[in-house]
């Protein structure tokens, strides 16, 4: 048998984030508006989570409209035309129209030329999974420009009377364009899962069970807050350190720490455990945005640009974690 010669793609030596865009849901919901239904107080919520208010969708906003707005802003920021996009990756766990994924429609509405387009469901870790996949697609020669979107409409799936979750979650979208680069712009990913704890954050029932039941109640997000808190505070600090080690840098080389905005206490616990020096600026977008799952890292980064905390060229450690349980982290040179 003669050995066939195949034509295989050659990738770029490196990949980098070249543009960022976000959309914050328009409705501002202060703690005062939700405390009565969960017998809580503004003071308790701020002390336990750092959240003062969150953003929820307005009457005209949808997962699609938020994804589209963030994606358009990212393309503009990158100076890339929709036709140059080879793949669209949408990270979300709140697309309630499960069949089918939203990414192909977003690609179409953007005016892209039929790129590969698919959703990934890695919950709060979804955006960092998307960055990892995009970087490998570009380095492997499968794509030149990849649009990664993290978008969530969590308010739809929150029970207003669930004391453990009603105050945590928010809505929004963030997107980046990842493209080829001559110098490293996205470091190696450290990712993984702990499926043994899959019940720690999940829907209260699957859709078929919920609508087959007598009261036909919409399922809602249910969470074992203490278990998630323990896991995130201790295990994720180890993942953060491993990410720096694999990248070959130390905390001293960082400019920014942009963790998933789950809870202010988790952010502080991680920063302390990895001994972040004072010069590293820490993202704290959760205070008035809430936890937006897959959208939280790009939203947090955009806030840092807007208030002057982040500057182009800064080195950021991004770490995302959540339901699954899943996690992913990488060092990124920000555009
Ligand atoms: N308002 C007021 N009191 C509340 C409350 C609420 N919303 N929820 C619980 N409490 C009370 C409890 O009844 C309990 O009272 P007791 O001590 O008199 O029995 C006390 O507060 C502690 O309850 P607990 O459930 O242990 O709270 P906690 O300290 O674990 O805080 C969370 C709850 C949700 C803030 C916390 O577990 C957390 O942040 N977990 C991580 C969640 C997260 O980040 N998820 C997203 C991951 S992607």
Residue 263 confidence class, pLDDT cut points 50, 70, 90: very high
Question: Considering only CA atoms, which of 243, 98, 92, 256 is closest in space to residue 174?
Answer: 92
Q: Do domains 14-181 and 190-333 have the same CATH topology?
A: yes
d(CA 33, CA 323): 27
Report strand pairing: 256-259 vs 281-282.
Answer: parallel
Please tell me the predicted confidence (pLDDT) of residue 42.
97
Please tell me the predicted confidence (pLDDT) of residue 83.
98
The answer to whether the CB of 328 falls within 8 A of the CB of 129 is yes
The residue whose C-alpha atom lies closest to atom 40 belonging to ligand 1 is 225
Mutate to test the pocket of ligand 1, among 31, 37, 225 (most ligand atoms within 8 A of CB): 225
d(CA 328, CA 321): 7
Whats the size of the chain, residue-wise?
A: 335
d(CA 40, CA 37): 8
Average pLDDT, the chain: 96
Q: What is the pLDDT of residues 201-228, one digit of tens each?
A: 999 998 888 888 888 888 999 999 999 9
Q: Which of 20-34, 47-61, 169-183, 214-228 has the lowest mean pLDDT?
A: 214-228
Residue 1 confidence class, pLDDT cut points 50, 70, 90: low
Ligand 1 atom closest to the Cα of residue 291 is 46
Pocket-forming residues, ligand 1, beta carbon under 6 Å? 38, 40, 44, 48-49, 124, 163-164, 167-168, 223, 225-226, 228-229, 262-263, 266, 291, 322
**Interacting residues of 236 by C-beta distance below 8 A, sequence separation 6+:** 259, 266, 270, 319, 321, 327
Residues 14-181, CATH architecture: 3-Layer(aba) Sandwich (3.40)
Structure tokens of 65? 């409209």
d(CA 52, CA 40): 13
The answer to whether the CB of 266 falls within 8 A of the CB of 229 is yes
Q: What is the pLDDT of residues 280-318, one digit of tens each?
A: 999 999 999 999 999 999 999 999 999 999 999 999 999
Average pLDDT for residues 96-113, to the nearest whole number? 95
In the chain, what are the domain boundaries? 14-181, 190-333
- Choices 3.30.365.10, 3.40.47.10, 3.20.20.70, 3.30.450.90: CATH for 190-333: 3.40.47.10
The whole-model pTM stands at 0.96
């Amino acid at each position: 048998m003669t050995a066939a010669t195949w034509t295989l793609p050659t990738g770029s030596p490196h990949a980098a984030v070249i543009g960022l865009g976000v959309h914050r849901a328009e409705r501002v919901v202060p703690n005062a508006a939700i405390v009565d239904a969960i017998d809580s107080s503004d003071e308790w919520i701020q002390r336990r989570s750092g959240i003062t208010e969150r953003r929820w969708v307005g009457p005209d906003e949808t997962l699609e409209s938020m994804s589209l707005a963030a994606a358009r802003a990212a393309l503009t920021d990158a100076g890339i035309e929709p036709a140059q996009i080879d793949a669209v990756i949408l990270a979300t766990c709140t697309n309630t129209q499960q069949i089918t994924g939203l990414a192909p429609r977003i690609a179409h509405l953007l005016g892209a030329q039929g790129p590969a387009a698919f959703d990934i469901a890695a919950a709060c870790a979804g955006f960092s999974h998307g960055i990892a996949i995009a970087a490998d697609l570009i380095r492997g020669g499968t794509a030149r420009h990849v649009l990664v979107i993290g978008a969530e409409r969590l308010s739809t799936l929150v029970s207003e009377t669930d004391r453990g979750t009603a105050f945590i979650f928010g809505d929004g979208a963030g997107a980046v364009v990842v493209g080829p680069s001559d110098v490293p712009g996205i470091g190696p990913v450290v990712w993984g899962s702990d499926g043994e704890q899959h019940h720690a954050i999940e829907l209260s029932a699957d859709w078929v069970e919920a609508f087959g039941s007598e009261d036909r109640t919409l399922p809602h997000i249910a969470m074992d807050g203490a278990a998630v808190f323990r896991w995130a505070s201790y295990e994720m600090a180890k993942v953060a350190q491993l990410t720096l080690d694999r990248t070959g840098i130390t905390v001293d080389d960082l400019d920014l720490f942009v963790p998933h905005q789950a809870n202010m206490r988790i952010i502080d616990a991680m920063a302390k455990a990895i001994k972040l020096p004072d010069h590293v600026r820490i993202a704290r977008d959760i205070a008035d945005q809430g936890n937006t799952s897959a959208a939280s890292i790009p939203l947090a980064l955009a806030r840092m640009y807007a208030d002057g905390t982040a500057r182009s060229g800064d080195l950021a450690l991004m770490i995302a974690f959540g339901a699954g349980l899943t996690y992913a982290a990488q060092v990124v040179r920000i555009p």
